[in-house]
Amino acid sequence: MKPLVACTLSWRALSTLLPSNRKLMLRRLLHNRPKRLSEMFQKASDIPKEGETTSVSHKLFLANGIYYPSSLGVFTLMPQGLRALQKLIKIIDEEMEAIGAEKIQMPSLVPQRLWEKTGRWEAMGSELFRLQDRHQRGYCLGPTHEEIVTELVASQLNFHHRLPIKLYQITKKFRDEPLPHHGFLRSREFEMKDLYTFHATEEDARTTYEEVLQAYENVLNRLQLDFVKAEADTGLIGGSQSHEFHLKCPGIGEDTVYTCNSCGYSGNKEVLEVDIKCPSCNSQDLESFNAIEVGHAFLLGQKYSKPLEAMYRTENQKSRVLEMGCYGLGVSRILQASVEVLSDGKHIRWPRMIAPYQIVIIPQKKGASEARFKEITENLYQALQSVPSLQGEIVIDDRLSITIGRRVVDAKLQGFPYAIVIGNKAVEREDGLEVIDIYADCKSSTDLTVSSVIDYLCQNVQCV
């Protein structure tokens, strides 16, 4: 296979082109520049000492440079971690758009006056990060945004034909955790998706409630995660109905969920703690397990819309208080919790769709035929880049002083789903390539041509 023009075009040749063509070729050259593992910024951190209680995923994220601890409960997300997060956000965006939700961005600084109107300024206690500006006006760093969004909608005095309104954001939230631990699973600053809906009637709000629950199921199903939807207590958020989404995690899960073996009902400990009996069928044949909460839904009624005067006008021009719902997904928590439940304790295992890069190319180490291996590697990279579904998903492990076997081990440690090995056979014949499915116990497919490698990857790689 011939290299693409952008790979073979020299800078001197580029300078001889007409300005318009030069700009086009420069863009292609830069776009097709191979991503090389040796050039990537990965700051590995010290992992907790043996005997310290922490999560598997936290250790793996530190050891592989997914995030870096900036302070207690606060982390810098590194390049590969950010890529995974952005892919997860894309999945969530798609499912929110599918139910007609619109994305906005609200401020992190939330005025004290709004929280006082709803009674939460005092109720939230020490979990709020509170501050004052130079004029002694009080604010908090928003852990949730019911007040801000309700004031926004209240300012519009919506007519009935504009309902329902569904507004969401994906942004950083803040909570003054007394003892942050397990990385993103219990942190002080975290990424969250929060959706707020406004309706004319309780019936309409319940219809949207079911739509959002299904959207959450879609997100977790696309990630191929084993989850449980459980009835939950409304807590400080309030409202008349609530459900949580959990990932089973016997080791470090901090929530207790009960499932009825008779009817399949699931509820959290707060719902069932008074009487350990299934509220759906009265059976006492309940099974409990530890879990990590990754999502929460609330049917709020008028808890926020009434004190903040969020109204709409009927066809008869009468004012009515809006019915509300709010829905949260812990985005950074899903990112880490998914690795916690999928990994074997030694290697990162992402949900395939959000792995930072899908494919790592591993050429033969330095030695004879080095120029030929480099040519095969560059050509293979460009061939894969030319496939729309694979574009941007390939990295070359160019640490050529290390053996192929050691680099395959590293690929498994870092969570690449697929490795393509360019060994001696690839120099000897066209069908000398090997593809390793790392997530399928390193199952190997050998004696492949470039074309058959592309066919294999197109059939198996899962991209957002």
SS (H, E, C) 49-91: CCCCCCCHHHHHHHHCCCEEEEECCEEEECHHHHHHHHHHHHH
Strands 165-174 and 189-199 come out as antiparallel
Length of the chain: 464
User: Under a CB-based contact definition with an 8 Å cutoff, are residues 227 and 219 in contact?
Assistant: no
Say what the pLDDT of residue 424 is: 93
Which pLDDT value is given to residue 45? Answer: 73
SS3 234: coil
Structure tokens at 119: 């009674």
CB 173 within 8 A of CB 190: yes
| 231, β-bridge pairs | 243, 267
What is the DSSP-derived secondary structure letter of residue 462? -
Q: What is residue 317's predicted lDDT score, i.e. its pLDDT?
A: 84
Residue 8, pLDDT score: 39
- CA–CA distance, 255 with 271 (Å, rounded to integer): 12
What is residue 379's DSSP assignment? H
Concatenate the DSSP letters of all residues of 138-183 into one string.
EEEE-S--HHHHHHHHHTT-EEGGG--EEEEEEEEEE---SS-BTG
pLDDT tens sequence for the chain (464 residues): 443 333 334 445 555 656 656 565 555 555 678 999 999 998 777 777 665 667 999 999 999 999 999 999 999 999 999 999 999 999 999 999 999 999 999 999 999 999 999 999 999 999 999 999 999 999 999 999 999 999 999 988 656 668 999 999 999 999 999 999 999 999 999 999 999 999 999 999 999 999 999 999 999 999 999 999 999 987 777 777 899 999 999 989 999 999 999 999 999 998 887 677 898 899 999 999 999 999 999 999 999 999 999 999 888 888 899 999 999 999 999 999 999 999 998 999 999 999 999 999 999 998 878 899 999 999 999 999 999 999 999 999 999 999 999 999 999 999 999 999 999 999 999 999 999 999 999 999 999 999 999 999 999 999 98
Whole-structure pTM value:
0.91
Q: Are 422 and 363 in contact (CB under 8 A)?
A: yes
pLDDT of residue 1: 40
Q: Is 208 helix (H, G, I), strand (E, B) or coil?
A: helix
